[in-house]
Amino acid sequence: MTLSSLPRSLRLFFTAVFVCSVASAIYAVAQTSAPAAKPVPTVYIKAGHLFDATSDKLRDDVVLVVEGERLTRVAAASEVTIPAGATVVDLSKDWVLPGLIDCHTHLEVRADQYDPINEVRFTPFMGSFNGVVNANKTLLAGFTSVRDVGSQPFFAVDLRKAIDSGFIPGPRVVASGPGISITGGHGDMNGFAPAVSNSMYPAEKDYAIADGPDEVRRVVREQVKYGVDVIKILATGGVLSAGDKPGAEQFTYEELKVAADEAHRAGRKIAAHAHGTQGIKDAIRAGIDSIEHGSLIDAEGIQMMKEHGTYLDADIYNDDYILGKAGEFGLPQEMINKEKMIGKLQRENFAKAVAAGVKISFGTDAGVYPHGDNAKQFHYMVKFGMTPAGAIHAATSSAADLIDRSKDVGTLESGKYADLIAVMANPLDRIEVLEHVSFVMKGGKVYKDELGAAVSTAKP
């Protein structure tokens, strides 16, 4: 009797038995032949002074235990027994902090290329080359996470993937798409002939220019479709753009509300570039999560930020660079004049917001000034009202909250990524110490070690 001569029900039964038997055999072979999983390496970090960002205080003589990418224990040295032969990172003479976070960067941008003609001279590939270099500079400066809030589509998403896969070194990237702008607004290609501006970068037009609530809704959804982590919308005019005024409203309240609702519906946060007084207030009322720049905020706007829990992400360092070096690199006089009008007011209003208790995050607009100099902003945050501990929180625990990554970064606690830095003096005494970081670890891997700390082994 052959299989084909059996009734159909029996043929199906025997076929199923055969398939299951083969599958079981293949699984058994796979199980026996698969290589054994490599043991997760354990590293013991001796921290002489630890600012873990869970409070404003230092802890002395602490050991951090790292297994793989994450911390599994943070405890007093007296409570931890380090096994003989274990890998030890000796930072017992240094000050250890969480990896820093910059919430406002543009990793594809170079600070020595301000000439607007570059928009039509360079292809999008140039920004990608820039990004590889800038990401590495940022990481080596101690910034193990950043939020990239505005680049060509979808550069920051791809950069995030390349870094996360280990293909290139860099910080963890929370990626936006191009900043969403009205036609002729801060994010549009202004100042060129129609034949030029309509033909260059058509994709950026599709994903960045929106007029009216329906177009805003579509653009937000498109950006989410292509993998952004955060939405960036340009609520007012800007400084480094042609033909618009920083204080001028651009999007209406209704448009901003649609953008915020769509972003939140998709599980994303949304940041609003907003210099102007009314644009700031409209963005706050619309439910925007952070106000970028906030230069012309008034007392009412400050009170609204407190009531809504909105973060102020103010770039109060780069005024120095724009009014100093930027002119040497082709920054047009129109933009220099706008910065002269707005820079001093921004710093004064930042001080008022700090005094009022507004939530502050650390965001520098890196790319306007050279990447890697991010920590120079700490000096100005303290100068204009923050304590050193408060400024560090802005770049650690508060920044992690804003970018929605608190479960992974921002403090040094068990379960979080082993993202940490070390400096050779106390930043609570002199915040400028953070401008030169001597040791950088991200995800348990050492990327910078000027201290010779990561080579010791515990002796029996």
Q: Is 225 a known active-site residue?
A: no
Q: Is 164 a known active-site residue?
A: no
How many Å apart are CA 48 and CA 94, to the nearest integer? 5
284: burial class by Cβ within 10 Å (0-12, 13-18, 19+)? buried
| Beta bridge partners of residue 292, listed in sequence order | 273, 313
How many Å apart are CA 226 and CA 247, to the nearest integer? 31
Taking CB atoms within 8 Å and a gap of at least 24, the contacts of 190-195 are 190/241, 190/242, 190/243, 190/244, 191/116, 191/242, 191/243, 192/119, 192/120
Identify residue 86 by its one-letter amino acid code: A
Residue 213 parent element (H or E): helix 213-225
- Catalytic-labelled residue, pool 102, 148, 229, 365: 365
- Catalytic-labelled residue, pool 46, 102, 229, 232: 232
Largest CA distance in the chain: 96
- Cβ atoms of residues 283 and 257 within 8 Å: no
How many Å apart are CA 21 and CA 111, to the nearest integer? 64
- Cβ atoms of residues 231 and 258 within 8 Å: no
Catalytic residues: 232, 365
